[in-house]
């Protein structure tokens, strides 16, 4: 009898369904069980913010349920992007998680194909994602997605406190000793970086909201790129100010004019604390001022006892060399995939200058 029930379970035909607001609480429970990354991802507040309160228009969450309980999920988050200066509605596909006991039953393929179809039916021009290495083959082999060759995004990191890492590999006493020496080195590096990036002509501000002159900065900075997601006042207010998670934004001004900004978030976990440089943009020719704000962020990181600072940056970006100059080291490649429709193929062929940060994904 048990074998018969197992056979029925494995051969059951699953059907994707669209979520209802009442599912948000159950989604929170689901992600508590399946999410293994750093921080607390998949809360009810997060999905309400990015799907229901989305300023472009309401997003999509498709589910597969078994007996009323969520077994697998996929989401579509609409966004605005400028391609060759013209604005289009695009969307990110993500949150492709399946309860381990339901894996290898075709749920992943069903959901990403249905969600992509739903997005395109709404008039969304381009669907993209940043899957991990585990799910990337499924996108490419079973859903007509392909990794773009137009950009190569790297995850970069600066280790600041290595005590926990050493303790996990050796002994707690050795970890404390080595970690203490490394922390002294990190603080010395901060003092050096701060001294090297002092600029009396610029000021760093931490605004509570974005001022009315923000869009002047945006309109000037976006002209440098063939492909860039919207970073006007409306977009960034939703992305960072109204986000249920707490972000800090530093704006750099020169002669009272905005010349750039950096946004970051600190994610706490039981083992390590990570400061993620979520977003950054400067006026053309002013990219080197990134170093000035990074010294302020490094100070914040040391005060918060952060274990490491992490950032995403395309290697073709003018910012990449400055992150490397500041001491960031390559950690891993981040695959950026597109659904292969005509629009995506044109983007890949004609767009050479890209701006892409981790804030353009659902990863933070």
**DSSP conformation class of 313:** E
Q: What are residue 254's DSSP bridge partners?
A: 202, 257
Same-domain pairing of 226 and 279: yes
Q: Is 34 exposed, middle or buried (0-12, 13-18, 19+ CB in 10 A)?
A: middle
In a domain, 333, yes or no: yes
Same-domain pairing of 79 and 223: no
In a domain, 177, yes or no: no
In a domain, 175, yes or no: no
CA–CA separation, 157 and 312 (whole Å): 9
Give the C-alpha distances (Å, rounded to integers) separating 330 from 55, 288, 302, 357: 34, 19, 21, 15
Give the C-alpha distances (Å, rounded to integers) separating 196 from 202, 294, 300, 311: 14, 12, 17, 21
State the Cα angle at 254 between 208 and 217, rounded to 5°: 65
Same-domain pairing of 234 and 348: yes
Same-domain pairing of 126 and 202: no
Cβ proximity of 72 and 64 under 8 Å: yes
Same-domain pairing of 128 and 205: no
CA–CA separation, 16 and 29 (whole Å): 19
- The closest alpha carbon to 348, from 154, 132, 146, 86, belongs to 146
The pLDDT tens digits along the chain (364 residues) read 344 444 444 557 899 999 998 999 999 999 999 988 777 788 999 999 999 999 999 999 999 999 889 999 999 999 999 999 999 999 999 999 999 999 999 999 999 999 999 999 999 999 999 998 889 999 999 999 999 888 999 999 998 875 666 556 675 566 565 566 666 566 566 556 665 666 668 999 999 999 989 999 999 999 999 999 999 999 999 999 999 999 999 999 999 999 999 999 999 877 789 999 999 999 999 999 999 999 899 989 989 989 899 999 999 999 999 999 988 999 999 999 999 999 999 999 999 999 999 999 988 8
Same-domain pairing of 223 and 316: yes
Same-domain pairing of 208 and 356: yes
φ and ψ of 281, to 5 deg: -165, 140
Same-domain pairing of 10 and 130: yes
Same-domain pairing of 213 and 317: yes
What pLDDT score does 85 carry?
Answer: 95
H/E element, 323: helix 320-326
What's the CATH code of the domain at 319?
Answer: 3.40.630.30
Same-domain pairing of 140 and 254: no
Residue 208, helix vs strand vs coil: coil
CA–CA separation, 72 and 34 (whole Å): 10
In a domain, 186, yes or no: no
Cβ proximity of 289 and 282 under 8 Å: yes
Q: What is the rounded end-to-end Cα distance, in angstroms, of the chain?
A: 46
In a domain, 28, yes or no: yes
In a domain, 340, yes or no: yes
In a domain, 184, yes or no: no
Same-domain pairing of 111 and 215: no
CA–CA separation, 197 and 195 (whole Å): 6
In a domain, 180, yes or no: no
Domain boundary among 85, 116, 147: 147
Counting the structural domains of the chain, the total is: 2
Entry pTM: 0.89
- Domain of residue 83, residue span: 2-147
Longest dimension (CA), the chain: 78
Two structure tokens written together for 270: 């039981």
Same-domain pairing of 123 and 158: no
């Amino acid at each position: 009898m048990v074998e018969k029930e197992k056979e029925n379970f494995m051969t059951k035909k699953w059907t994707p369904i669209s979520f209802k607001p009442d599912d948000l609480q159950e989604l929170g429970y689901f992600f508590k069980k399946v999410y293994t990354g750093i921080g607390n991802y998949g809360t009810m507040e997060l999905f309400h913010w990015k799907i229901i309160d989305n300023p472009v228009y309401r997003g999509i969450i498709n589910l597969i349920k078994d007996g009323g309980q969520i077994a697998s999920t996929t989401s579509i988050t609409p966004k605005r992007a400028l391609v060759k200066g013209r604005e289009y509605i695009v969307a990110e596909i993500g949150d492709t998680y399946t309860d381990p006991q339901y894996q290898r039953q075709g749920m992943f393929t069903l959901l990403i194909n249905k969600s992509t179809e739903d997005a395109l039916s709404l008039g969304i021009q381009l669907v993209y994602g940043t899957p991990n290495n585990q799910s990337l083959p499924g996108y490419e082999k079973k859903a007509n997605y392909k990794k773009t060759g137009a950009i190569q995004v790297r995850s970069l990191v600066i280790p600041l406190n290595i005590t926990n890492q050493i303790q996990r590999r050796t002994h707690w006493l050795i970890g404390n000793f080595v970690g203490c020496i490394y922390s002294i080195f990190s603080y010395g590096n901060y003092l050096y970086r701060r001294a090297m990036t002092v600029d009396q002509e610029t000021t760093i501000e931490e605004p509570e909201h974005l001022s009315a002159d923000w869009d002047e900065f945006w309109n000037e900075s976006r002209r440098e790129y063939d492909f860039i997601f919207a970073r006007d006042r409306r977009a960034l207010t939703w992305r960072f100010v109204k986000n249920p998670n707490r972000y800090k934004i530093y704006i750099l001004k020169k002669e009272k004019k905005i010349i750039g900004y950096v946004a970051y978030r600190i994610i706490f976990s039981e083992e390590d604390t990570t400061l993620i440089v979520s977003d950054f943009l400067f006026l053309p020719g002013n990219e080197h001022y990134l170093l000035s704000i990074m010294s302020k962020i490094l100070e914040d990181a040391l005060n918060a006892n952060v274990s490491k600072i992490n950032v995403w940056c395309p290697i073709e970006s003018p910012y990449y060399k400055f992150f490397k100059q500041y001491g960031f080291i390559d950690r891993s490649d981040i695959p950026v995939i597109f659904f292969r429709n005509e629009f995506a193929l044109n983007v890949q062929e004609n767009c050479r200058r890209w701006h892409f940060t981790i804030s353009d994904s659902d990863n933070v």
